[in-house]
Amino acid sequence: MPENARSPLSQVSLPSPLKPLSEALLFASNFLRHPNMLGSIIPSSRFLVDQVLESVDWGRARVIVEYGPGVGTFTGEILRRMRSDAQLVAIETNRDFVRFLQRTLPDPRLHVVHGSAAEVQPVLARLALPAPRYIVSGIPLGSMPDPVRTDIAAKSRAALEPGGAFLVYQFTARALPALQRTFGEVQRSFERRNFPPAQLFLCTTRGA
């Protein structure tokens, strides 16, 4: 398979009429139980997924980390786009989502880990994986106390390989000051076609 070939996931997906419904119900029920842990009551739109992943150089991305994969809206698309020899680490605090991803996306390149974004370096060490080129994050940093989001931003920067990037999408700008303090450069953009409208932050280190 060519390095940049997309992997077929049809054999690991739920039947098409059921999978979107099961995803939506699972996502909504968890939002109602844990509203501070999810940024929205519905999964991200195709518009948001495409805009966030637009910054990824798939040919150079050997390891990618995703924080808060939820029902796998980004996860499945990352698997389709990334190299056949790349590895994706999805770190999720919600056990329901962890089980759902393990059942619906049994791709050998995917490592679904029950844990916190703050544990990214120990997680990578346990998996014997090198530093990631990209970390994609949709966890609601704006809902967290400032010391917590600052800690996650700092640990994410420390985990990245030189020249790597932290790709963050949020529904408020509350995380922006912490990202700006931590990274040398933060580029901000918007995706208004998502519901709710999303803000994107492309965080890179100085000289990257």
Sheet holding 110-114, edge to edge: 110-114, 87-92, 63-67, 134-137, 165-170, 198-204, 185-191
pLDDT of 42 reads: 59
- Give SS3 for 32: helix
pLDDT (tens, 9 = 90+) of the chain, 208 residues, equals 444 444 444 334 334 444 554 555 554 455 445 444 444 445 779 999 999 999 999 999 999 999 999 999 999 999 999 999 999 999 999 999 999 999 999 999 999 999 999 999 999 999 999 999 999 999 999 999 999 999 999 999 999 999 999 999 999 999 999 999 999 889 999 999 998 999 999 999 764 4
pLDDT of 17 reads: 42
Collect all residues with Cβ–Cβ distance below 8 Å to 174 and sequence separation of at least 6.
Answer: 141, 142, 143
pLDDT of 19 reads: 52
Domain ranges of the chain: 15-204
Superfamily for domain range 15-204:
Vaccinia Virus protein VP39 (3.40.50.150)
- Give SS3 for 161: coil
